[in-house]
Amino acid sequence: MSKGMKNIITKKNENLVLPIIWRGKEKEINYDIKLAGVNSSLILQMLLLGKNDDKVKIKINVDHQAIETKSKILVKGIVNDNASVDFNGLVKIEKGAKGADAWLSANLLLLSDSVKGRAVPALEILENDVKAGHATTIGKINETELFYLMSRGLSETKAIDLIVQGFLNGFLNYEK
């Protein structure tokens, strides 16, 4: 088991919301979450803000063990300077966990030329009566958006600020 692994096991009907913010301090973030309670749910929101030489390795395992369990893992990262982010997510739906609903997404916004980003959002599904999906995007600021804002008189820094806010907006206002 990795260093500093946090173990979470849900109870019946439990609805768990887990906000995590990384601002460069931790080198590793590890979560092992078992959705063991019937009809339990988990929302894990992770905000990653990396700059300078910040490096982080993230490991999140979610195991759907009971029926009617839901998980939603949303990772958003803004990576600047020489920072690097390595995200490893694994969502497993065990056999018999009927009605499970899993979503796993990781979006990384790269702000500098020397960043590194790695994302592995893995799924293991052993039950067919489920819904499961994942998505990843990695990229820089959209040039067209930037151009549009700057053509409206915003400075480049201002425009980037606004786009970054937009990137995080849906995330921060997220309601289940």
Partner 1 sequence: MKKSSTINNSYTYGFHKPEKSSFKTPLGINEKIVKAISAYKNELLWMREFRLKALKIFRKKNMPSFGPDLSKLNFDKLCFYNSPSSGKFRKWSDVPKDILDTYNKIGVPEAEKKFLAGVEAQYDSEVVYSNLKNHWEKLGVIFTDMDTAVKKYPELVKEYLGTLVPLDDNKFSALNSAVWSGGSFIYVPKGVNVPIPLQAYFRINAKAVGQFERTIIIAEEGSFVHYIEGCSAPIYTNDSLHAAVVEVFVKKGARVRYTSIQNWSGSVYNLVTKRMQIEENGVGEWVDGNLGSKVNMKYPALILKGKGARGELLSLAYAGKNQYQDTGGKAIHLAPNTTSTLISKSVSRNGGRASYRGLVKIAKGARGSKSHVRCDALLLDDKSRSDTYPVNDVQEQDVTLGHEASVSKVGEQQLFYLMSRGLNEIQATSLIVNGFIEPIVKELPLEYAVELNRLINLSMEGAVG
Of the candidate spans 2-10, 27-35, 46-54, 124-132, the one that interacts with partner 1 by CB under 8 A turns out to be 124-132
Quote the CA–CA distance of 41 and 44 in Å, as a whole number. 10
Closest approach of partner 1 to the CB of residue 91, in Å: 9
127 sits near partner 1 (criterion: CB under 8 A)? yes
Closest approach of partner 1 to the CB of residue 50, in Å: 13
172 sits near partner 1 (criterion: CB under 8 A)? no
125 sits near partner 1 (criterion: CB under 8 A)? yes
E strands within 80-130?
A: 84-93, 101-110, 116-125
Q: Answer positive or negative: Cα dihedral of 80, 26, 57, 18.
A: negative
Which of 33, 56, 110, 149 contacts partner 1 by CB under 8 A? 110
3-class state of residue 159 by DSSP? helix
